[in-house]
Structures are given as C-alpha cells and as structure tokens.
Amino acid sequence: MSEYRFAKWINKQLDRKGWRPADLADQAGIGRSAVSRWINEGYQPNIPNARAAAEALGVPLLEILVESEQLSVAEALMYSRARSLSEVSDEELAEEVRRRLVRPRRK
C-alpha cells in the first residue's frame, strides 16, 4: 500500500466496495491513469474527478477533499457549521475549494 494519505484512503474505499482501481475509474467515468496517479504517485484529484469519485464511492465530496488534503478538517468543520452540509451543493463546495486553492498573484 502507498505511503500517501489519500492513496491509503482510496485503497480502503476500494476494499470496502470490493473494487480494483480500474473499477473506480470505470464507475466514476474518469481515466484509469488518474486513479493510478492518486494511488501510486500521491496526486490529488481535480474537482470534477473528486466529484465523480465521491458519487461512485457513495461518500460526500467534502470527505474526499479532506482526505486528499485540499481542505483541512478545521476548514471543513468551519464550513459545515456555517451551513448544514445537506444545504450545500457540490458546486458551492467546489467553488469554495477553488477559491482557497487559488493563490493571489504577486506584484
């Protein structure tokens, strides 16, 4: 098993469903190479792939974003306390992640 946190989490989810990485890729409609990079190279999923993987795995998008370290647990909790997560659309959550990941340009 990989040393990468997200890879360990993905492998646990695959075990839970009895899937191989290729099964996740196929069920999520994403490239097998993307899933391979998550597991073997420590890559983080982009937002569309994270959303597709969340749906395929039956987990909240927020969980994938925390496990892939795109959001901290504290950020996720802060966001979830501001509104009920059931009221937050995937698009709103993805936009918040994009906002936090974009670094201001230096002048």
Domains, the chain, ordered by start: 5-101 (1.10.260.40)
Of 3-12, 45-54, 96-105, least confident by mean pLDDT is 96-105
pLDDT tens-place string over residues 33-86: 999 999 999 999 999 999 999 999 999 888 999 999 888 888 877 766 655 666
The answer to whether the beta carbons of residues 13 and 38 sit under 8 Å apart is no
Structure-token pair, residue 5: 């946190």
Distance separating alpha carbons of residues 33 and 20, to the nearest angstrom: 13
- The answer to pTM > 0.75 is no
Give the DSSP letter string of 63-93: HHHHHTTSS-HHHHHHHHHHS-GGGS-HHHH
